[in-house]
């Protein structure tokens, strides 16, 4: 059985590391490269780095940042932000990232996922879906551009499409729980799990190691990602890069090693 991965999710805004709440009000928490150096020391499983400006500004991925991250990273990392073409993906992988993430581009043109998979390997293709509850009826909708736009495709229809195409991983991000640290929306993640067998990473809402432990227990082989949990400490949310110790991780993974 594959071991679950605990993945810090780093958001890059104006070249700095930030944390948001409901995808709004980015708070500066430090330099991305310095954060990576600290996570190296803590021997994290994997990193996810998302440039939240690229799609909004309609620009290419920040290849200089990717190169600098790759030089420092001693763990696998996934990069997303502005990826629209096969060439973008190939360059990101060539610079040292293990995975490349797409969101709005995949929603607009799912077939790009197949082309990128053929170019860099399906295992390196990650789809990020940002999901929030509709104000009426409690159903869910896909959003893009930092939750400023509604996607034209329905969630279940999109899941069916990427099932057909095949990708390495699906990152499910709960917009309503982003940055709140009040626990995961397992009903949302259960809904997604019902409609796809693609390896799934969940993000949005983790406030404690117990939340991560519950996620691992529910989904077994899964990536569990968090932002605020790994950059803030205490009820006053003081900025402090942190990560579970080796002993804590043994319990969270629920494996003997």
Residues involved in catalysis: 130
Across 83-186, where does the E strand assignment appear?
99-102, 125-133, 140-144, 149-150, 169-174
Neighbour count for residue 44 (Cβ, 10 Å):
23
How large is the angle between the packed helices 86-95 and 63-72, nearest 10 degrees? Answer: 30
For residue 246, the tally of other CB atoms under 10 A from its CB is 9
How many Cβ atoms from other residues are within 10 Å of residue 89's Cβ?
A: 28
- Main-chain dihedrals φ then ψ at residue 134, nearest 5 degrees: -70, 150
Q: Beta strand pairing status for 16-21 and 5-13?
A: antiparallel
What CA–CA distance (Å, rounded) separates 19 from 144? Answer: 17
- 157-191 burial by CB neighbour count: b if 16+ within 10 A, else e? ebbeebeebebbbbbbbbbbbbbebeebbbebbeb
Burial class (CB in 10 A: 0-12, 13-18, 19+), 228: buried
- What number of other Cβ atoms are within 10 A of residue 100's Cβ? 24
């Amino acid at each position: 059985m594959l071991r679950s991965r605990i993945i810090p999710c780093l958001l890059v805004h104006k070249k700095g590391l930030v944390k948001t709440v409901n995808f709004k009000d980015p708070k500066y928490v430090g330099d991305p490269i310095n954060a990576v150096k600290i996570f190296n020391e803590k021997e994290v499983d994997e990193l996810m780095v998302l440039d939240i400006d690229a799609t909004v500004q309609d620009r290419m991925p920040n290849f200089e940042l990717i190169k600098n991250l790759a030089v420092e990273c001693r763990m696998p990392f996934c990069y997303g932000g502005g990826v629209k073409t096969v060439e973008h993906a190939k360059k990101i992988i060539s610079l040292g990232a293990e995975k490349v993430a797409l969101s709005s581009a995949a929603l607009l043109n799912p077939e790009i996922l197949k082309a990128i998979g053929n170019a860099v390997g399906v295992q390196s293709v990650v789809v990020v879906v940002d999901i929030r509850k509709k104000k009426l009826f409690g159903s869910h909708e896909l959003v893009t551009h930092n939750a400023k736009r509604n996607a034209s495709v329905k969630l279940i229809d999109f899941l069916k499409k990427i099932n057909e195409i095949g990708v390495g991983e699906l990152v499910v991000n709960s917009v309503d729980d982003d940055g709140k640290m009040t626990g995961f929306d397992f009903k949302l993640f259960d809904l997604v799990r019902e409609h796809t067998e693609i390896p799934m990473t969940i993000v949005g809402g983790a406030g404690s190691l117990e939340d991560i432990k519950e996620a691992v227990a529910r989904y077994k082989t899964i990536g569990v990602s968090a932002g605020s949990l790994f950059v803030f400490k205490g009820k006053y949310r003081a900025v402090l890069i942190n990560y579970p110790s080796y002993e804590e991780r043994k319990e969270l993974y629920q494996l003997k090693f």
